[in-house]
Structure 1
Amino acid sequence: MGIYDFVVKTNKGVEKSLADYKGKVLIIVNTASKCGFTPQFKELQDLYMKYKSQGLEILGFPCNQFAEQEPGSNSEVQEFCRLNYGVTFQIFEKGDVRGETAQPLFQYLIEQQGFQGFDESHPIAAKLMEALQQNFPEYLEGDSIKWNFTKFLVDREGNVVARFEPTFAPADMAKEVEKLL
Protein backbone atom coordinates (compact mmCIF):
# COMPACT_ATOMS: atom_id res chain seq x y z
CA MET A 1 0.00 0.00 0.00
CA GLY A 2 1.32 3.41 -0.96
CA ILE A 3 0.11 6.99 -1.03
CA TYR A 4 -1.28 6.61 -4.57
CA ASP A 5 -3.56 3.75 -3.51
CA PHE A 6 -5.79 6.04 -1.46
CA VAL A 7 -9.07 7.51 -2.64
CA VAL A 8 -10.38 10.51 -0.73
CA LYS A 9 -13.39 12.78 -1.12
CA THR A 10 -13.26 16.42 -2.13
CA ASN A 11 -15.24 18.94 -0.10
CA LYS A 12 -18.03 18.43 -2.64
CA GLY A 13 -18.14 14.67 -1.91
CA VAL A 14 -16.49 13.61 -5.18
CA GLU A 15 -14.04 10.70 -4.93
CA LYS A 16 -10.48 11.59 -5.95
CA SER A 17 -7.63 9.16 -6.29
CA LEU A 18 -4.29 10.33 -4.94
CA ALA A 19 -2.83 8.59 -8.01
CA ASP A 20 -3.92 11.77 -9.82
CA TYR A 21 -1.00 13.46 -8.03
CA LYS A 22 1.72 11.08 -9.25
CA GLY A 23 4.88 13.00 -10.06
CA LYS A 24 3.93 15.93 -7.82
CA VAL A 25 5.43 17.01 -4.51
CA LEU A 26 2.64 17.02 -1.91
CA ILE A 27 2.01 18.71 1.40
CA ILE A 28 -0.87 16.93 3.13
CA VAL A 29 -2.20 18.86 6.12
CA ASN A 30 -5.09 18.56 8.58
CA THR A 31 -6.71 21.95 9.01
CA ALA A 32 -9.20 23.87 11.15
CA SER A 33 -10.67 27.34 10.75
CA LYS A 34 -10.98 28.25 14.45
CA CYS A 35 -7.50 27.35 15.72
CA GLY A 36 -4.52 29.36 16.89
CA PHE A 37 -2.66 27.87 13.93
CA THR A 38 -5.32 28.85 11.37
CA PRO A 39 -3.15 31.71 10.00
CA GLN A 40 -0.95 28.95 8.58
CA PHE A 41 -3.44 28.87 5.70
CA LYS A 42 -1.78 32.05 4.41
CA GLU A 43 1.71 30.55 4.50
CA LEU A 44 0.46 27.34 2.88
CA GLN A 45 -1.20 29.38 0.12
CA ASP A 46 2.01 31.40 -0.34
CA LEU A 47 4.01 28.16 -0.74
CA TYR A 48 1.43 26.87 -3.18
CA MET A 49 1.55 30.01 -5.32
CA LYS A 50 5.35 30.05 -5.32
CA TYR A 51 5.87 26.39 -6.25
CA LYS A 52 2.73 25.07 -7.95
CA SER A 53 4.17 25.69 -11.42
CA GLN A 54 7.13 23.50 -10.41
CA GLY A 55 4.89 20.65 -9.26
CA LEU A 56 3.78 21.35 -5.68
CA GLU A 57 0.26 20.44 -4.60
CA ILE A 58 -1.20 21.11 -1.16
CA LEU A 59 -4.03 18.91 0.06
CA GLY A 60 -6.01 20.26 3.02
CA PHE A 61 -8.12 17.95 5.17
CA PRO A 62 -10.40 19.77 7.64
CA CYS A 63 -10.87 18.03 10.97
CA ASN A 64 -13.08 18.78 13.98
CA GLN A 65 -11.37 16.37 16.41
CA PHE A 66 -9.28 18.97 18.21
CA ALA A 67 -11.46 20.99 20.60
CA GLU A 68 -14.13 21.23 17.88
CA GLN A 69 -12.18 23.92 16.02
CA GLU A 70 -13.68 23.01 12.64
CA PRO A 71 -17.45 23.09 13.25
CA GLY A 72 -18.54 24.20 9.77
CA SER A 73 -19.92 22.17 6.90
CA ASN A 74 -17.67 21.29 3.96
CA SER A 75 -18.95 24.24 1.95
CA GLU A 76 -18.55 26.62 4.92
CA VAL A 77 -14.95 25.46 5.40
CA GLN A 78 -14.18 26.02 1.71
CA GLU A 79 -15.75 29.48 1.77
CA PHE A 80 -13.85 30.43 4.94
CA CYS A 81 -10.52 29.37 3.44
CA ARG A 82 -11.08 31.25 0.20
CA LEU A 83 -12.50 34.44 1.73
CA ASN A 84 -10.08 34.79 4.64
CA TYR A 85 -6.85 33.38 3.22
CA GLY A 86 -7.33 33.25 -0.55
CA VAL A 87 -6.86 29.48 -0.53
CA THR A 88 -6.83 27.98 -4.02
CA PHE A 89 -5.30 24.59 -3.18
CA GLN A 90 -7.62 21.58 -2.83
CA ILE A 91 -9.64 21.30 0.37
CA PHE A 92 -11.11 17.85 0.95
CA GLU A 93 -14.07 16.54 2.91
CA LYS A 94 -13.98 17.01 6.67
CA GLY A 95 -13.02 13.88 8.58
CA ASP A 96 -11.04 12.40 11.46
CA VAL A 97 -7.25 12.18 11.42
CA ARG A 98 -6.53 10.35 14.68
CA GLY A 99 -7.77 7.31 16.55
CA GLU A 100 -9.89 4.42 15.38
CA THR A 101 -12.04 6.67 13.19
CA ALA A 102 -9.09 8.28 11.39
CA GLN A 103 -9.24 8.36 7.62
CA PRO A 104 -7.08 5.54 6.19
CA LEU A 105 -4.84 8.12 4.51
CA PHE A 106 -3.91 9.63 7.86
CA GLN A 107 -3.38 6.22 9.45
CA TYR A 108 -0.88 5.56 6.64
CA LEU A 109 0.84 8.94 6.99
CA ILE A 110 1.31 8.40 10.74
CA GLU A 111 2.82 4.95 10.10
CA GLN A 112 5.27 6.50 7.64
CA GLN A 113 6.32 9.48 9.78
CA GLY A 114 5.91 9.48 13.54
CA PHE A 115 5.57 12.41 15.91
CA GLN A 116 8.50 14.82 15.56
CA GLY A 117 8.06 16.85 18.74
CA PHE A 118 6.94 20.44 19.02
CA ASP A 119 9.15 23.43 18.31
CA GLU A 120 9.19 24.92 21.79
CA SER A 121 10.30 28.32 20.48
CA HIS A 122 7.00 28.76 18.62
CA PRO A 123 4.84 31.45 20.30
CA ILE A 124 1.87 29.07 20.75
CA ALA A 125 3.87 25.96 21.72
CA ALA A 126 3.64 26.41 25.50
CA LYS A 127 -0.10 27.10 25.33
CA LEU A 128 -0.61 24.04 23.11
CA MET A 129 1.34 21.76 25.46
CA GLU A 130 -0.57 23.07 28.47
CA ALA A 131 -3.92 22.51 26.74
CA LEU A 132 -2.94 19.01 25.68
CA GLN A 133 -1.65 18.05 29.13
CA GLN A 134 -4.73 19.39 30.90
CA ASN A 135 -7.50 18.48 28.48
CA PHE A 136 -6.25 15.80 26.10
CA PRO A 137 -3.31 13.97 27.74
CA GLU A 138 -4.01 10.88 25.64
CA TYR A 139 -3.16 12.92 22.52
CA LEU A 140 0.45 13.12 23.69
CA GLU A 141 0.88 9.34 23.55
CA GLY A 142 2.39 7.61 20.54
CA ASP A 143 2.79 8.95 17.02
CA SER A 144 -0.79 10.08 16.39
CA ILE A 145 -1.65 13.54 15.12
CA LYS A 146 -1.47 15.85 18.12
CA TRP A 147 -3.33 18.91 16.78
CA ASN A 148 -4.47 20.86 13.73
CA PHE A 149 -1.95 21.78 11.02
CA THR A 150 0.26 18.71 11.15
CA LYS A 151 1.92 18.68 7.75
CA PHE A 152 3.30 15.70 5.81
CA LEU A 153 5.70 16.16 2.89
CA VAL A 154 5.55 13.61 0.07
CA ASP A 155 8.11 13.38 -2.74
CA ARG A 156 7.41 12.91 -6.46
CA GLU A 157 7.60 9.12 -6.07
CA GLY A 158 4.96 9.04 -3.33
CA ASN A 159 7.32 8.58 -0.37
CA VAL A 160 6.32 10.33 2.84
CA VAL A 161 9.66 12.00 3.57
CA ALA A 162 8.91 14.36 6.46
CA ARG A 163 6.38 15.37 9.07
CA PHE A 164 6.10 18.90 10.41
CA GLU A 165 4.14 19.48 13.59
CA PRO A 166 1.76 22.44 14.03
CA THR A 167 4.50 24.51 15.68
CA PHE A 168 6.56 24.32 12.47
CA ALA A 169 5.63 27.21 10.18
CA PRO A 170 4.81 26.31 6.57
CA ALA A 171 7.13 29.08 5.34
CA ASP A 172 10.00 27.22 7.01
CA MET A 173 9.21 24.17 4.85
CA ALA A 174 10.32 25.97 1.67
CA LYS A 175 13.87 24.57 1.66
CA GLU A 176 12.61 21.01 2.08
CA VAL A 177 10.05 21.52 -0.68
CA GLU A 178 12.69 23.00 -3.01
CA LYS A 179 14.91 19.93 -2.55
CA LEU A 180 12.10 17.74 -3.89
CA LEU A 181 11.01 19.90 -6.84
Structure 2
Amino acid sequence: MTAKSSERVLVVPAAEFDRLGRFQGFEADAQRYLDALLRPESTSFRPRADVEDDPSLKQIIPYVVLRSQGKVFCYTRGNSQGEARLHSLRSLGVGGHVDEADAEGCCGFEAYDTAMRRELDEEVDIRSRGVLKLAGLINDDSTPVGSVHLGVVHIYELENPFVAPRERGLVDSRFIPIAELAPSRESFETWSRFCIDELLSGR
Protein backbone atom coordinates (compact mmCIF):
# COMPACT_ATOMS: atom_id res chain seq x y z
CA MET A 1 0.00 0.00 0.00
CA THR A 2 1.37 3.44 -0.93
CA ALA A 3 1.84 6.26 1.57
CA LYS A 4 -0.89 8.25 -0.19
CA SER A 5 -3.43 5.46 0.04
CA SER A 6 -2.63 4.64 3.68
CA GLU A 7 -2.87 8.20 5.01
CA ARG A 8 -5.90 9.22 7.02
CA VAL A 9 -7.70 12.33 5.78
CA LEU A 10 -10.34 14.68 7.15
CA VAL A 11 -13.90 13.97 6.00
CA VAL A 12 -17.43 15.12 6.80
CA PRO A 13 -20.69 13.27 6.12
CA ALA A 14 -22.25 14.26 2.82
CA ALA A 15 -25.58 14.17 4.67
CA GLU A 16 -24.44 17.13 6.77
CA PHE A 17 -23.51 18.99 3.61
CA ASP A 18 -26.98 18.22 2.25
CA ARG A 19 -28.59 19.51 5.46
CA LEU A 20 -26.80 22.84 5.05
CA GLY A 21 -27.75 23.05 1.37
CA ARG A 22 -25.83 21.20 -1.31
CA PHE A 23 -24.81 23.37 -4.26
CA GLN A 24 -23.04 22.81 -7.56
CA GLY A 25 -20.19 25.19 -8.37
CA PHE A 26 -19.06 28.08 -6.20
CA GLU A 27 -20.59 29.29 -2.91
CA ALA A 28 -19.38 32.56 -1.41
CA ASP A 29 -20.90 32.03 2.05
CA ALA A 30 -18.17 29.64 3.14
CA GLN A 31 -18.16 30.55 6.81
CA ARG A 32 -21.74 29.37 7.37
CA TYR A 33 -20.88 25.95 6.01
CA LEU A 34 -17.51 25.66 7.76
CA ASP A 35 -18.94 26.65 11.15
CA ALA A 36 -21.08 23.50 10.94
CA LEU A 37 -18.91 21.15 8.90
CA LEU A 38 -15.71 21.69 10.88
CA ARG A 39 -17.20 21.06 14.30
CA PRO A 40 -15.31 18.19 15.96
CA GLU A 41 -18.52 16.17 16.20
CA SER A 42 -19.04 16.45 12.42
CA THR A 43 -15.54 15.51 11.30
CA SER A 44 -13.42 12.38 11.37
CA PHE A 45 -10.25 10.98 9.85
CA ARG A 46 -10.58 7.99 7.54
CA PRO A 47 -8.08 6.02 5.42
CA ARG A 48 -7.78 7.81 2.11
CA ALA A 49 -8.03 4.56 0.18
CA ASP A 50 -11.46 3.94 1.73
CA VAL A 51 -12.98 7.33 0.89
CA GLU A 52 -11.73 8.14 -2.62
CA ASP A 53 -14.77 6.43 -4.17
CA ASP A 54 -17.31 6.98 -1.37
CA PRO A 55 -19.67 9.90 -2.12
CA SER A 56 -21.33 9.49 1.29
CA LEU A 57 -18.30 11.36 2.67
CA LYS A 58 -16.76 14.64 1.54
CA GLN A 59 -13.01 15.13 1.88
CA ILE A 60 -12.21 18.71 2.88
CA ILE A 61 -9.55 20.25 0.63
CA PRO A 62 -7.91 23.66 1.15
CA TYR A 63 -7.49 25.34 -2.25
CA VAL A 64 -5.31 28.46 -2.12
CA VAL A 65 -5.18 30.84 -5.10
CA LEU A 66 -2.05 33.03 -5.16
CA ARG A 67 -2.68 36.46 -6.66
CA SER A 68 -0.36 39.44 -7.10
CA GLN A 69 -0.34 42.63 -9.15
CA GLY A 70 -3.08 41.55 -11.53
CA LYS A 71 -1.62 38.10 -12.06
CA VAL A 72 -2.38 34.66 -10.66
CA PHE A 73 -0.15 31.64 -10.02
CA CYS A 74 -0.98 28.54 -12.07
CA TYR A 75 0.62 25.22 -12.97
CA THR A 76 0.01 21.87 -14.65
CA ARG A 77 -0.58 18.89 -12.37
CA GLY A 78 2.24 16.38 -12.86
CA ASN A 79 2.27 12.65 -12.16
CA SER A 80 3.58 13.12 -8.61
CA GLN A 81 0.45 15.02 -7.61
CA GLY A 82 -1.70 12.84 -5.37
CA GLU A 83 -4.95 12.84 -7.36
CA ALA A 84 -4.28 10.84 -10.53
CA ARG A 85 -7.64 11.83 -12.02
CA LEU A 86 -6.41 15.44 -12.31
CA HIS A 87 -3.02 14.80 -13.90
CA SER A 88 -2.12 16.99 -16.93
CA LEU A 89 -4.79 19.59 -16.13
CA ARG A 90 -3.95 23.20 -15.38
CA SER A 91 -4.72 24.42 -11.86
CA LEU A 92 -4.90 27.64 -9.87
CA GLY A 93 -5.18 25.96 -6.48
CA VAL A 94 -2.37 25.04 -4.11
CA GLY A 95 -3.18 22.74 -1.22
CA GLY A 96 -4.24 19.19 -0.49
CA HIS A 97 -5.89 16.85 1.93
CA VAL A 98 -6.04 17.61 5.63
CA ASP A 99 -3.99 14.75 6.99
CA GLU A 100 -4.41 13.35 10.48
CA ALA A 101 -0.67 13.50 11.12
CA ASP A 102 -0.41 17.12 9.95
CA ALA A 103 -3.34 18.11 12.16
CA GLU A 104 -1.97 16.11 15.12
CA GLY A 105 -5.10 13.99 15.20
CA CYS A 106 -7.42 16.88 16.06
CA CYS A 107 -10.62 17.78 14.28
CA GLY A 108 -12.16 21.21 13.83
CA PHE A 109 -11.25 24.51 12.19
CA GLU A 110 -7.95 24.99 14.03
CA ALA A 111 -6.74 21.62 12.77
CA TYR A 112 -7.90 22.49 9.25
CA ASP A 113 -6.09 25.83 9.34
CA THR A 114 -2.85 24.29 10.61
CA ALA A 115 -2.89 21.60 7.93
CA MET A 116 -3.77 24.11 5.20
CA ARG A 117 -0.77 26.29 6.06
CA ARG A 118 1.54 23.29 6.23
CA GLU A 119 0.33 22.03 2.84
CA LEU A 120 0.93 25.47 1.37
CA ASP A 121 4.45 25.58 2.80
CA GLU A 122 5.22 22.10 1.44
CA GLU A 123 4.13 22.88 -2.11
CA VAL A 124 5.42 26.41 -2.73
CA ASP A 125 8.13 28.77 -1.54
CA ILE A 126 6.47 32.17 -1.02
CA ARG A 127 8.93 35.05 -0.67
CA SER A 128 6.53 37.94 -0.34
CA ARG A 129 4.30 39.34 2.34
CA GLY A 130 0.61 38.88 1.78
CA VAL A 131 -2.88 38.55 3.20
CA LEU A 132 -4.69 35.21 3.21
CA LYS A 133 -8.50 35.37 3.12
CA LEU A 134 -11.30 32.83 2.95
CA ALA A 135 -13.11 33.31 -0.36
CA GLY A 136 -15.70 30.54 -0.72
CA LEU A 137 -16.44 26.86 -1.23
CA ILE A 138 -16.37 24.71 -4.36
CA ASN A 139 -18.41 21.58 -5.00
CA ASP A 140 -18.50 19.66 -8.26
CA ASP A 141 -20.68 16.56 -8.27
CA SER A 142 -20.42 16.25 -12.06
CA THR A 143 -17.18 14.23 -11.90
CA PRO A 144 -16.10 11.19 -9.84
CA VAL A 145 -13.25 13.09 -8.20
CA GLY A 146 -15.45 16.09 -7.46
CA SER A 147 -18.21 14.01 -5.90
CA VAL A 148 -15.97 12.98 -2.99
CA HIS A 149 -14.26 16.34 -2.33
CA LEU A 150 -15.27 19.77 -1.07
CA GLY A 151 -12.91 22.65 -1.81
CA VAL A 152 -12.32 25.52 0.58
CA VAL A 153 -11.05 28.44 -1.49
CA HIS A 154 -8.64 31.00 -0.09
CA ILE A 155 -7.16 33.99 -1.92
CA TYR A 156 -3.59 34.80 -0.92
CA GLU A 157 -3.02 38.38 -2.04
CA LEU A 158 0.76 38.86 -2.29
CA GLU A 159 2.61 42.14 -2.49
CA ASN A 160 4.95 40.65 -5.10
CA PRO A 161 4.73 37.55 -7.33
CA PHE A 162 7.72 35.86 -5.73
CA VAL A 163 6.66 32.19 -5.62
CA ALA A 164 8.56 29.04 -6.62
CA PRO A 165 7.36 25.42 -6.57
CA ARG A 166 8.75 23.09 -3.94
CA GLU A 167 6.99 20.01 -5.32
CA ARG A 168 7.88 18.39 -8.64
CA GLY A 169 4.20 17.89 -9.42
CA LEU A 170 3.74 21.62 -10.01
CA VAL A 171 4.86 21.63 -13.63
CA ASP A 172 5.26 24.77 -15.76
CA SER A 173 4.37 26.98 -12.81
CA ARG A 174 4.24 30.74 -13.30
CA PHE A 175 2.16 33.86 -12.74
CA ILE A 176 -0.02 34.83 -15.68
CA PRO A 177 -2.23 37.90 -16.18
CA ILE A 178 -5.74 37.33 -14.88
CA ALA A 179 -7.06 38.63 -18.20
CA GLU A 180 -5.56 35.56 -19.92
CA LEU A 181 -7.46 33.04 -17.82
CA ALA A 182 -10.84 33.16 -19.55
CA PRO A 183 -9.51 32.37 -23.07
CA SER A 184 -7.68 29.28 -21.73
CA ARG A 185 -10.44 28.26 -19.32
CA GLU A 186 -11.06 24.82 -20.85
CA SER A 187 -7.50 23.66 -20.10
CA PHE A 188 -8.11 24.01 -16.35
CA GLU A 189 -9.62 21.54 -13.88
CA THR A 190 -13.23 22.29 -12.97
CA TRP A 191 -12.45 23.82 -9.57
CA SER A 192 -10.16 26.35 -11.23
CA ARG A 193 -12.85 27.10 -13.82
CA PHE A 194 -15.24 27.98 -11.00
CA CYS A 195 -12.62 30.33 -9.56
CA ILE A 196 -12.07 31.93 -12.96
CA ASP A 197 -15.81 32.46 -13.41
CA GLU A 198 -16.70 33.60 -9.88
CA LEU A 199 -13.60 35.19 -8.36
CA LEU A 200 -11.31 36.35 -11.14
CA SER A 201 -13.49 37.52 -14.01
CA GLY A 202 -12.95 41.18 -14.80
CA ARG A 203 -10.19 41.62 -12.23
Shorter-chain TM-score bucket reads under 0.3
Q: Of Structure 1 and Structure 2, which has the larger fraction of its residues in helix? A: 1
Q: Give TM-score scaled by structure 2 length.
A: 0.25
Q: Of Structure 1 and Structure 2, which has the larger fraction of its residues in strand? A: 2
Q: Give TM-score scaled by structure 1 length.
A: 0.27
Larger radius of gyration: 2
